[in-house]
């Protein structure tokens, strides 16, 4: 790739990340192009569909999840790791509306499916560790936690300042007694 093309691609990704963070999947390609200082054709040359652009932006945003999972698995207790994972995932969703939309979208799309699959894969070892420790109710699965994250994600959309309090209520219900 030529230097100018590579630079334009990075400008488009940076502008798209900002637009998607602010407006989620409602962001318009023409607004992204304008923010990047390129033409709409340049955006489509690098990303032939909006779905591909969303996928590229989400891939960059999801790069932080392996670190979140690693911290969760390395936490002193499995419960601390689980709660830290949930907090950091929801905080990421609050910062990045595209991640939130990607996880909570009812539409079938490759990027939404990839977000949910990534979340499910991340949760499994965390859930196993919490079950082994006895801190997580035995009947709770990774899928259950994924659904709770999606539900709390909706709270992030509706009341961005309220999700931490609501997470506390959810955690109280998940903890083994």
Which residues, 6 or more positions from 160, have their beta carbon under 8 angstroms from its beta carbon?
A: 94
Please indicate, yes or no, if residue 112 is contained in any of the structural domains. yes
pLDDT in tens, 157-173: 888 889 999 999 999 99
Please indicate, yes or no, if residue 117 is contained in any of the structural domains. yes
pLDDT in tens, 9-49: 999 999 998 998 888 778 899 999 999 999 999 999 999 99
> In total, how many domains does the chain have?
2
Please indicate, yes or no, if residue 55 is contained in any of the structural domains. no
Please indicate, yes or no, if residue 147 is contained in any of the structural domains. yes
What is the pTM assigned to this prediction?
A: 0.75
What's the domain range around 102?
61-174
Q: Which helix (H) or strand (E) holds 112?
A: helix 110-133
Residue 82 CA from chain centroid, whole number: 16
Indicate whether 38 and 66 sit together in one domain: no
Indicate whether 40 and 84 sit together in one domain: no
pLDDT in tens, 134-152: 999 999 999 899 889 988 9
Residues present in the chain in total:
177
Indicate whether 17 and 44 sit together in one domain: yes
Indicate whether 125 and 154 sit together in one domain: yes
């Amino acid at each position: 790739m030529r230097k100018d093309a590579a630079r334009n691609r990075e400008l488009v990704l940076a502008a798209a990340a900002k637009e998607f963070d602010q407006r989620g999947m409602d962001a318009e390609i023409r607004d992204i192009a304008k923010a990047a200082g390129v033409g709409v054709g340049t955006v489509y040359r690098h990303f032939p569909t909006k779905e591909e652009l969303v996928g590229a932006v989400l891939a960059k945003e999801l790069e932080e999840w392996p670190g979140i999972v690693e911290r969760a698995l390395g936490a002193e207790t499995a419960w601390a790791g689980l709660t830290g994972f949930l907090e950091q995932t929801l905080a990421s969703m609050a910062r990045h509306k595209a991640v939130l939309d990607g996880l909570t979208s009812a539409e079938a799309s490759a990027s939404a499916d990839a977000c949910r699959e990534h979340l499910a894969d991340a949760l499994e070892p965390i859930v196993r560790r919490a079950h082994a420790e006895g801190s997580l109710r035995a009947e709770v699965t990774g899928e259950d936690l994924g659904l709770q994250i999606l539900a709390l994600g909706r709270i992030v959309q509706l009341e961005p300042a309220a999700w931490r309090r609501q997470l506390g209520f959810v955690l109280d219900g998940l903890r083994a007694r």
